[in-house]
Amino acid sequence: MLYSVISSLESSDFISLDKAMQYFETHAHVGLICDDPIEQLIVIQEARQASVTRLVSICNSLHDFVKIYDNLKSASNVFHAVGVSPSEVQNPGKDWAQIIEQSVQLPRVVAIGEIGLDYYRKFGDKKSQIELFITQLDMAAKLNLPVIIHNRDAGKDVLDILRDRLPPKGGVLHCYSEDAEYAKRALDLNLYFSFAGNLTYRNARNLHDTIGVLPLDRILIESESPFMVPADFRGKRNMPKYLPLTARFLADMLEIGDEELSAALWENSNRFFGLPTE
């Protein structure tokens, strides 16, 4: 039944791409897009039909990680990150560290995240957020995994902490929101910079300027779905299948061909997550 549902999918707003190109979706909250396990697999299949052939699922909370992981277990092109986000700082659960250490032993778990600091929403107090962030950075070092970093209105503290505690496998500043000067400082560390659909917004001058100072081999893209939908789909819920729109916009900014960019992003993403390119 499930196979027939997925195999017969049709959608009027798939992004049609050259078969030679493939994209790596580095950050999608599949559990926030929809709750139903079959619908979640349909989201993955729709992305695949749009040439988004690998995807990292970011659990919307540590409490939901196992459920989302099990829902997507049959999707061999889906990888996973596990961690306690700043939004959970007041209620991570008493066994949260043990849950992370057990979860990273599962197949296709490739990163700790998302973790970081969020001073905009004021989740708990700053001290508690910083302690949680540092603890998970140290765990990532011990577990030999990269980290996916959330930063909202906390840029100075994030960078100061990363200078001392970034694990050997490095990290990615996901859904990058700082400016070009910040990026220049962050380039001294083993960090990648991931851009979401908001890169396509006309008023995102800080992001457009940042692209101009970054080497291509440090750039990733993500949907951050169901948030940050590309400009062409404003008003809709964001989906991984829209990721190629962000890629096309980025290719135009860099003045390179779509295929050249696709190949570079694919190489960068797999390198960061420690995966083979084939």
User: What confidence tens digit (pLDDT) does each residue in 223-267 have?
Assistant: 999 999 999 999 999 999 999 999 999 999 999 999 999 999 999
Q: What is the tally of structural domains in the chain?
A: 1
Q: What residues make up the domain containing 263?
A: 23-272
Q: What is the pLDDT of residue 19?
A: 53
Q: Tell me the CA distances in angstroms from 264 to 44, 107, 136, 245, 267, one per residue in order.
A: 22, 26, 29, 16, 5
Question: Quick one: 86 exposed, middle or buried, by C-beta within 10 A (0-12, 13-18, 19+)?
Answer: buried
Q: What is the pLDDT of residues 11-24, one digit of tens each?
A: 334 444 445 799 99
pLDDT digits (tens, 9 = 90+) for 137-147: 999 999 999 99
Other C-beta atoms within 10 Å of 13: how many? 12
- Distance CA(23)–CA(270), nearest Å, equals 11
> Is residue 262 assigned to a domain?
yes
Is the pLDDT score of 188 beyond 70? yes
Residues 134/149, Cβ–Cβ less than 8 Å: no
Confidence of residue 211 (pLDDT cuts 50, 70, 90): very high
Does any domain span residue 33? yes
Q: What is the mean pLDDT of residues 52-71?
A: 93
Question: Is the pLDDT confidence value at 6 over 50?
Answer: no
Average pLDDT over residues 207-211: 98
Length of the chain: 278
The response to whether 25 counts as a known ligand-binding position is: no
Distance (Å, rounded) from C-alpha 99 to C-alpha 123?
A: 21
Is residue 114 annotated as involved in ligand binding?
yes
- CATH, residue 247: 3.20.20.140
29 is known to lie in a ligand binding site: yes
The pLDDT of residue 1 is 32
- Give whole-number Cα distances, 259 to 58, 264, 265, 275, in Å: 27, 9, 10, 20
Separation CA 41–CA 62 (nearest Å) = 20
Q: List pLDDT tens digits, range 145-154.
A: 999 999 999 9
pLDDT value at residue 2: 34
Residue 51 covered by a domain: yes
Residue-by-residue DSSP string for the chain? -HHHHHHT---TT-----TT--EEEEEE-HHHH-S-HHHHHHHHHHHHHTTEEEEEEEPSSGGGHHHHHHHTTT-TTEEEEE---GGGTT---TTHHHHHHHHTTSTTEEEEEEEEEETTTT-S-HHHHHHHHHHHHHHHHHHT--EEEEEES-HHHHHHHHHHH--TT-EEETT--S-HHHHHHHTTSSEEEEE-GGGGSTT-HHHHHHHTTS-GGGEEE---BTSS--GGGTTSPP-GGGHHHHHHHHHHHHT--HHHHHHHHHHHHHHHHT----
174 annotated to bind ligand = yes
Q: Is residue 278 part of a domain?
A: no
Nearest to 196 by CA among 233, 144, 165, 154: 233
Average pLDDT over residues 122-140: 95
Residues of the chain with pLDDT > 90, as a percent, come to: 86
- pTM for the predicted model, two decimal places: 0.92
Given a cut of 60, whether residue 5 has pLDDT beyond it is: no
Q: Is 27 annotated as a binding residue?
A: yes
Q: Which of 6, 23, 5 is nearest to 262 (CA)?
A: 23
- At 7 the pLDDT is 38
In a domain, 101, yes or no: yes
